[in-house]
Amino acid sequence: MSENLQKTLAEIARIEKQCQSLLVTATNLQELEKIKSDFLGRKGAVQALFALMGRVGADEKPHLGAALNRLKETLQAEIETRMASFQRQPMAIDSFDPSLPAKLPAMGSLHPILQVMDEVKQIFTSMGFRVEEGPEIESDYYNFEALNIPAYHPSRDMQDTFYLSGQHVLRTHTSPVQIRTMETQKPPVRMIAPGRCFRKDTPDATHSPTFHQCEGLCVDRGVSFADLKGVVQAFAQKIFADKSMRVRFRPSFFPFTEPSAEYDFSCIFCKGKGCRVCKNTGWLEISGAGMVDPAVFGFVDYDPEIFSGYAFGMGLERIAILKYRVNDIRIFFENDIRFLEQF
């Protein structure tokens, strides 16, 4: 092999290496375009090597020609591959700014009903009440029987209650937790029981088949209706952060309280003056309450000659509606993120 052929082959190898190392460090398409023209262009390095064909004799020309063609094809292929990889990731490397702030994960928040529930718990525990829980699938005994609700009572109607198989129902109120608590604790008892309840209601602006209540129960010696009124009024003033809140009790009937009442809060919208929301009465209906019926004490073995107590319920959606000025109960259960993210 002639010395000239050897030199030219060495030059070919050098050019190939040089081009390859530039390809490795190239960081964008413009750089690659430049490499392409520097090596494969009409005035590029490979073309210049072809001009060296004249240095070798006719017998060596096919050898050199083949080596040059191989170089050209190799570099062409490698440049194309590298270019394609940049075209697939136009954002790569040079446009990545590591100093930009990170994209934070979307933060959730507590559901407004849970927030109201937490606040209710906080207010009552500050007044000495304990928080109790009961099952959402309840037996007929706890949901009705032990609450002195007879078989013919309208609330037991198939139209109002979700009946499960056996003697079970989806609890229609939180009152069964009264019984469960008194069964396991001796007086004095002072407890609240917040939780989910179910009734076979057709959903509309004020009804939802799933809703939440908070039960309250206080049993001790000498507990009177005045204690009930004081506690409920203190609660109303706390939850609406308004010292002028008033509570009104109207005679009513529940099988498990005697006497029984419905209680109202003074309208938070018009401060009791009368408006559209309170239908010009100045009052907003909250729930029922009363003194624990002696018949109920009979089911839990409390002596009604020694102990007396009061109980009350409250609808948590109703409080949330007033607190957050929402006009449709269904919105609490639709899981619309535009609503929920406001809390």
Pick from 326, 231, 323, 230: nearest CA to 268: 323
Among 290, 296, 322, 332, binds ligand PHE (CB under 6 A): 290
Q: Calculate helix-pair angle for 112-126, 225-239, nearest 10 degrees.
A: 130
Least spacing, CB of residue 268 vs ligand PHE, in Å: 21
- Residues 215-244 interacting with ligand PHE (rule: CB under 6 A): none
Among 287, 318, 320, 332, binds ligand PHE (CB under 6 A): 287
- Residues 296-335 interacting with ligand PHE (rule: CB under 6 A): 311-313
Position 254 contacts ligand PHE (CB under 6 A): yes
Piece of the chain touching ligand PHE by CB under 6 A; list 48-56, 274-282, 287-295, 334-342: 287-295
Cβ closest to ligand PHE, residue 26 vs residue 149:
149
Cβ closest to ligand PHE, residue 71 vs residue 289:
289
Least spacing, CB of residue 292 vs ligand PHE, in Å: 8
Instruction: Show Cβ contacts of residue 25 under 8 Å, excluding neighbours closer than 6 positions.
Output: none
SS3 128: coil
CA distance 241 to 163: 40
Cβ burial of 300 (10 Å; 0-12, 13-18, 19+) is: buried
DSSP string, 297-323: HHHHT--TTT-EEEEE--BHHHHHHHH
Pick from 265, 127, 147, 141: nearest CA to 191: 127
Pick from 298, 269, 304: nearest CA to 147: 298
Position 195 contacts ligand PHE (CB under 6 A): no
Cβ closest to ligand PHE, residue 131 vs residue 275:
131
Cβ closest to ligand PHE, residue 175 vs residue 181:
175
- Residues 163-182 interacting with ligand PHE (rule: CB under 6 A): 173, 175
Least spacing, CB of residue 340 vs ligand PHE, in Å: 26
Query: What DSSP element (H or E) covers 231?
Result: helix 225-239
Least spacing, CB of residue 313 vs ligand PHE, in Å: 3
Name the H helices within 59-214.
Answer: 61-88, 112-126, 140-143, 176-184
Least spacing, CB of residue 206 vs ligand PHE, in Å: 14
Piece of the chain touching ligand PHE by CB under 6 A; list 28-36, 184-192, 242-250, 283-291: 283-291
Structural tokens at position 289: 């309450």
CA distance 193 to 180: 11
List own/partner pairs for 337-342 with CB under 8 A and 24 or more apart. Answer: 340/109, 340/111, 340/112, 341/109
Please give the size of the binding site for ligand PHE, defined by CB under 6 A: 11
Cβ closest to ligand PHE, residue 44 vs residue 195:
195
Cβ closest to ligand PHE, residue 82 vs residue 171:
171
Piece of the chain touching ligand PHE by CB under 6 A; list 77-85, 103-111, 285-293, 296-304: 285-293
Position 289 contacts ligand PHE (CB under 6 A): yes
CA distance 33 to 86: 12
Piece of the chain touching ligand PHE by CB under 6 A; list 29-37, 236-244, 282-290, 301-309: 282-290
Cβ closest to ligand PHE, residue 120 vs residue 289:
289
Instruction: Show Cβ contacts of residue 304 under 8 Å, excluding neighbours closer than 6 positions.
Output: 294, 297, 298
Cβ closest to ligand PHE, residue 79 vs residue 191:
191
CA distance 197 to 314: 12
Contact residues for ligand PHE, defined by CB under 6 A: 173, 175, 254, 257, 287-290, 311-313
